[in-house]
Structures are given as structure tokens and as C-alpha cells.
Copies of this chain bind each other. A is one copy, B any other.
Amino acid sequence: MTRRVAVVGASAAGLRCAARLHRLEPEWKITVLERNTVYSYAACGLPYVLSGDIDSLVELRSTAWGTVRDRRFFRSVKGVEILEGHRVVSIDPEAHTLEAEGPDGAVQIGWDELVLATGARPRRLPGQPDHPRVRCFHTWDDVVPLKDGLIRGEIGRVAVVGAGLVGIELAEAFRTLWGAEVALIEAAAHPLPQLLDPEVAALVGAELARQGVVLRCGTPVEGIEAGDGGVVVRCAGAAVEADAVVVAIGVEPEVRLARSAGIALGRTGAIAVDRHLATSVPHVWAAGDCIEIRHAVTGEPVHCPLGSLANRQGRVLAGILAGRGGRFPDVAGAMAVKVFERTVAAAGCTLTAARAAGFEAEAVWMTTDDRAHYWPESEDLHLELVFDRGTLQLLGIQAFGSGRAVDAVDVASQLLARGVPVDELGEIEHCYAPPFAPALAPVAVAAFVARNHAEGVRAMGPLDDPGADRVLDVRLAAERDARPWTSTETVHIPVEELGGRLAELDRSARWLVLCERGTRAAEAVRMLRARGIAARYLGGGMIWRQMALGGGR
């Protein structure tokens, strides 16, 4: 039976769905309606066009073999008809029609199945001025004026509002190729507030600072004044002057069409769909950045506008429409972003989010080698695990370091989605060879640290204040001198000597034990506790703390 499928939006989800549906059902008539005339480009690559890592916008719109993905391509190769420059203005779910305005006037199209892939649009600041010097960063059209301004030397100082994924990518783009002065302004207390806890975010902040980005956190923008001579961003009493302002405070689902057609929205404001991506209206489906999905850890609906999910949703939906079944599973929200020379990746819940979701959540921190410690290119990897105190269920992971941070989160994501206890993460198998990994996988070691925590070997957060604790430094003298603990007095006994010198410790005090990465200190805590001495250790060690508190790396 031939069917007519209309897809609204030539986005990742819409086009992926349409193309696969044609492969599965070559006789069906598949039409994609798209408001713009330029589409099917990898929007995630836009910051890298600005940075110069990618030469031209055309590359983002081309296949791996260099063919431009335009209307002709989709017609001849993918069997999909795209109506460019056609804005859908209304849907009649009863009559199975839609109306669109195109370059030649209004058109009406009938459909048997309708797919909404309307995507998302950038959030704007309240009262954001409509001025060429102030723009969001979301589409192809946002790149050109910025790049031109940089090339012509008209933009030397940039204020980026929002230290989310895009804001950080933009800060890097402006800074690395163009050497612009960049102020990165974030309303929340730290960068990537939805994705990271303060301890990991502080490492991101340290790398931004090391690269010369002026990071201002906890400073909501109060107003922007744009004129011919420049822009002033007012926040927390300060006035940040710049030649251009880019607002990157996230996106909101584009649901106007869905709402006007009576399609139910969910709690997040995005289109509500079931596991088969069906909306509340029969024969109307939705996929991509306009929908909300279920979080694998909390079970709550979330709006998670990630290109990886949109592509998967489009593909799954094609199978569902073709009658092959399928479902879109809950998501852990795995993500990664390059922060200049470092990488940060995360999945699942932050400690804050886990507690807000009702878990009795705890966190542990560790610093370790991303490869065999003797491998010359080995680098520090910082991991935070979030887990439930009672069940020890793994709830979240955050990783900062080399590109191996991505591997750690990719692997942990497979377990996060399954709701397993941290001990299962400790049992994982990994590819071991000195150039790629240590003999024990870093995520497995993090799971051991969580298990130790459950057994009473507790960590203090890398940023916390030790309060009244006495401080025991178990490092070698050279390490202590190179990266000293300066805020309070310390007792120094290297872990190599500790067994024989326990009598030197005041048994009535509570001790905070510290070392470079946390490993030795945790062992020392176990030793002290076995002798009845109260102790905890500095999670992530002095390396984490010093970098997070601004000492560089």
C-alpha cells in the first residue's frame, strides 16, 4: 500500500527519517517541507567554521564524498522530495492535510502520516536588542557576519553570554584562531551548569582561564546596550565592553505548529511522544529537538536537543512508520565538548540533579592516568561518579582530561542506561595496552572508589574546606614542596613510612589525608581507620584541587 508521508523540517531527524523510509518503502511518497533554502548541514560544526578548523560552510552540507546535500541530491539519491522555502502554517489532523506558504504562494498537501521535526530555536535574553552587534548563534546565517567581522578586524572583543556547550565552543573559536578578547558570561555559578557539578566545572573554568578567556559566573545579564561604536553588557554591577555579543543560552523546542494543531506538549514544553515517537494525535509523529524524551536515570521527561539523539530518532521513526516496530529508548544524556586542549564529557545525573530527583546521592572524585602511567603521553584524567547511597546504583559520571574522557563516558553510558550498581562498572572489560589505557580501566577504578566510600573510606570534595580537620600529607617531600597545601598546618608522613609512624598522629583529632591524586590518601585512611583514628581524604587529590582553585595544571 502506497502511503503519503509529510515531514515538517529538513533537520537531522526529519531527513534521516525521510531517507530511511524511502529505503524501506520505495513506493511511498515522501515530502519534506522546509522553511529555509539552506538546510541539511551539520549545525554542530558551525563553531568550527568560525574557528577556522573547518574551511567553509559547504563542508558541513556535503556528504563524506563531497556531494552537496541539496534538493537535487535528496530527490535523486534519497528518493525524497523537499519543498524548500515552504513554511507550514497549519495542520488539520482530522482532514490529514497541511497548508504551507511557499515562494509561489500557498500550497495544501495531504498526508497519511505526518512527522514533525521542527527542531528548536535559540533562547533570547529578556529585552535582547535587535542589533547587528548582538546575535544568537544557531544557524548558517549567524556565522558569516561574525567571521566577516573577525576577518576585517572589526571584532576584537567578544562577549559570549552562556557558558554551555555552544558558548564554550564559541569562546575557543574566537580565541584560538582570531586571538579575540573573550568574556564568557554565565548566570549560573559555574560553566556547563546542567551537565557538571562544581568540582568538574572548576576544571573547565581553569582551562578557560589558562587560555585567556575571562569567565564571569553567577552573573546574570541585566541588560545589553548596543550602538554603532560597540556593545556594553551589564551584569552583576559590571559593564563588559565588546565589539560583538553572542547569546548562547540554549534552545527551546519549536512547538508553535504542534500547539496550534492541538498536539499535546509535555512538562518541559516540548512535544510529548510515547516510546514509538507517536504524539497525542493519531498518525502524527515527532522526532528531534522539538520533542521531550525520558531520562534513563530519573525517569522524568527531559528536553535533550542533541544531534546524536535526533539522528537516532529519525532512523527509528522510519522503521516504525514502515511497520517494522522499534522504539526509542530512554536517554542518559551522554555529551562531550572540547575545551581548548582538554575534553569534558558526562552522562546521567549530576549530584545536584540526582538529589533533586529524590536519590540519596553521593559522589566520589578521582584523578588517574588515562593510559599506563609510564606511557610518555599519559595525561591526568579526572572522574566524578554519582551513585545512590543505599543501592549503590550508578547515577552519573563526569570526566575531564584528554580525549580518553569520551571513552570513559561512552562505556559508563552503556551501564547507566541499564540501572546497574557501581560494582558492575568495576567489573567491565576494556582494551588494555599501555598506549591506550591503564591495566585497570579508569571507570572501573572510579567504581572501586565508590565501593570504598560505601565501606567508610570517605572523600572530601576537591573544593571543600577541611573545617576543623587536622591535615595529614602522605606525599613524598618533593611532591609536597611542588604543590603544597598552604591553608592550614599539615603533618607530613609519606605513605611509605606511615605504617611505622602512626603513633605520631593525634588520635583525638579527625584527619584529612591528602596526596597528589587521592589513591595513597585513601589507602592511608583505611590504615588510620583500622587503628581507630577518624579520617577522610581529599577526593581527586591535590592535582584536582590546585587546578580547580586556580593553580593551573
Contacts and interface: CB of A to CB of B under 8 A. Distances in A.
Interface of A: 12, 23, 26, 42, 44-45, 48, 53-54, 59-60, 62-67, 73, 76-77, 79, 165, 306-312, 315, 329, 331-338, 343, 345, 347, 369, 372-376, 403, 406-407, 409-411, 413-415, 417, 427-437, 439-441, 444, 448, 475-476, 479, 495-500, 515-517, 519-520, 523, 526-527, 530
A338 to B, nearest CB: 5
A431 B427 CA distance: 22
Nearest to A165: B433
The 6 closest A-B pairs by CB, nearest first: A308-B432, A336-B431, A64-B373, A414-B414, A59-B374, A407-B407
Nearest to A427: B329
14 contacts: A42-B372, A44-B432, A45-B375, A65-B476, A310-B439, A311-B439, A315-B448, A334-B429, A334-B430, A335-B432, A338-B433, A347-B429, A403-B436, A411-B414
A403 B437 CA distance: 11
B45 A374 contact: yes
Contacts of A63: 373
A77 to B, nearest CB: 6
Given A53-B376, A65-B516, A439-B307, A26 B434 contact: no
A430 B62 CA distance: 23
B476 A336 contact: no
Nearest to A368: B64
Contacts of A436: 336, 338, 343, 403, 406
A308 B441 contact: yes
A52 B271 CA distance: 58
A258 to B, nearest CB: 24
A100 to B, nearest CB: 25
Contacts of A444: 312
B440 A311 contact: yes
A308 to B, nearest CB: 4
A409 B441 CA distance: 13
A499 B79 contact: yes
Given A12-B439, A338-B435, A343-B436, 7 more contacts: A76-B499, A77-B498, A307-B439, A308-B430, A334-B430, A338-B436, A406-B407
A413 to B, nearest CB: 5
Contact of A66 (B308, B431, B476, B523): B476
B67 A432 contact: no
B414 A369 contact: no
A333 B53 CA distance: 38
A48 B428 contact: no
Given A23-B523, A411-B411, A406 B431 contact: yes
Contacts of A417: 429
A500 B60 CA distance: 27
Contact of A376 (B54, B374, B433): B54
B23 A526 contact: yes
Given A54-B374, A54-B375, A311-B439, A335 B76 contact: no
A360 to B, nearest CB: 23
A6 to B, nearest CB: 21
Contacts of A329: 427
A445 B64 CA distance: 15
Contacts of A77: 495-496, 498-499, 523
Contacts of A44: 372, 432-434, 439
Given A60-B374, A372-B42, A430 B407 contact: no
A307 B410 contact: no
Contacts of A306: 432
A381 B113 CA distance: 37
